[in-house]
Structure 1
Amino acid sequence: MRTTKFTLLAIALVTAMSISSCNEKTKTETTVEKAVSTETVVANETPDYFLLRPEVEKAYGYTHAVKIGNSIKISGAVSMDDEGNPTAIGDLEQQMKNCYADLDKILKHYGCTFDDVVVENVFTTDMAKFLEFAGYRTEIYKKQFPTGSWLGVKELAIPEFMIEIELEVHKAQ
């Protein structure tokens, strides 16, 4: 009889703790739900398209930059003139500088600088040559370097292009 009373007491205690535990979980879930659902704002953001060289971009079928909210995606810049002809042929260092000059024009259009760049991807047909001149980037990125990748590729859109640089930007409010 004594064992049965002890067993019943143990079962009652475990049941009480379980019910208490369930109530605590419900209180915690409710608190978390309230915290999560207090400020959800969804804005209707229309893309803002920017064409650096409208005729060239139309002919090749791309837009050089698109801004949505605080994010700006910039297509790969290459070394070309306003008619789309390659410039600085055979000179990777100058092509790289020409790319950054075009990227700077786009950043300025949106009121940004290279300090706002969060991703930089570099595509080059000559990685060894690029690495030789990569130090130039310290003149571009004065505060910090963005994330990104450096990729050696077989070819770019036009055979004379040796480098292409694309960016992602976060414009602080």
Structure 2
Amino acid sequence: MENSDKSINEKPEYFSLRPEVEKAYGYSHAVKIGNSIKVSGAVSMDDEGTPTAMGNFLQQMKNCYADLDQVLKHYGCTFDDVVVENVFTTDMPAFLEHAGYRNTLYTKQFPTGSWIEVKGLALPEFLIEIELEAHKQ
């Protein structure tokens, strides 16, 4: 097989930020295959899976990014390595009001992605969920 097909043969490397919560809900927080990292949506929760910062959109958003930062660091990455960011929110006007916070994270360039308003997220207390894809250099 050619070297260009090397990533096809690489074993997925899974990572759990909150193993018990992820097992209960049936997902892994991230998986790396080759240089590609896919990160499940982060929500504002504590280590037991209880929603945090209820009713506080900006703090929920910051909590999401804090979790995403931990996942990226696990793989030796930063937000500079993010190539896709998808935001799901139940309150688009609130997201647009606070979207400038992203400028503190994405200091070199912004990733591709979508901003999507949804009827609901996994729990009614969640106002925002953010998923990422990164490419490790």
Counterpart position of 2:14: 49
SS in 2 for 1:128: helix
Higher percent of residues as strand: 2
2:41 aligned with 1:76: yes
SS in 1 for 2:114: strand
The AA in structure 1 aligned to 2:40 is S
Residue in structure 1 matching 2:2, options 40, 51, 59: 40
5+ residue gaps, structure 1:
1-38
SS in 2 for 1:129: helix
Counterpart position of 1:102: 67
Q: Tell me how far apart the structure 2 counterparts of residues 115 and 89 of structure 1 sit (CA, whole Å).
A: 29
SS in 1 for 2:58: helix
- Normalised to the residue count of structure 1, the TM-score between the two structures is 0.76
Task: State the Cα distance separating 1:40 from its structure 2 match.
Answer: 2.8
Residue in structure 1 matching 2:97, options 132, 136, 142: 132
The AA in structure 1 aligned to 2:83 is V
Task: State the Cα distance separating 1:164 from its structure 2 match.
Answer: 0.2
| Deviation readout 1:48-94 (Å, 9 max, x if unpaired) | 00000000000000000000000000000000000000000001100
SS in 1 for 2:110: coil
SS in 2 for 1:85: coil
2:24 aligned with 1:62: no
Residue in structure 2 matching 1:141, options 106, 126, 137: 106
Higher percent of residues as helix: 1
Residue in structure 2 matching 1:117, options 82, 88, 108: 82
Indicate the structure whose relative CO is greater, using CA pairs within 8 Å and at least 6 residues apart: 2
Task: State the Cα distance separating 1:116 from its structure 2 match.
Answer: 0.1
The AA in structure 2 aligned to 1:149 is S
**Number of residues paired by the alignment?**
134
SS in 2 for 1:104: helix
The AA in structure 1 aligned to 2:127 is M
Q: Tell me how far apart the structure 2 counterparts of residues 73 and 170 of structure 1 sit (CA, whole Å).
A: 9
Counterpart position of 1:170: 135
- State the percentage of identical aligned residues: 77
- Normalised to the residue count of structure 2, the TM-score between the two structures is 0.96
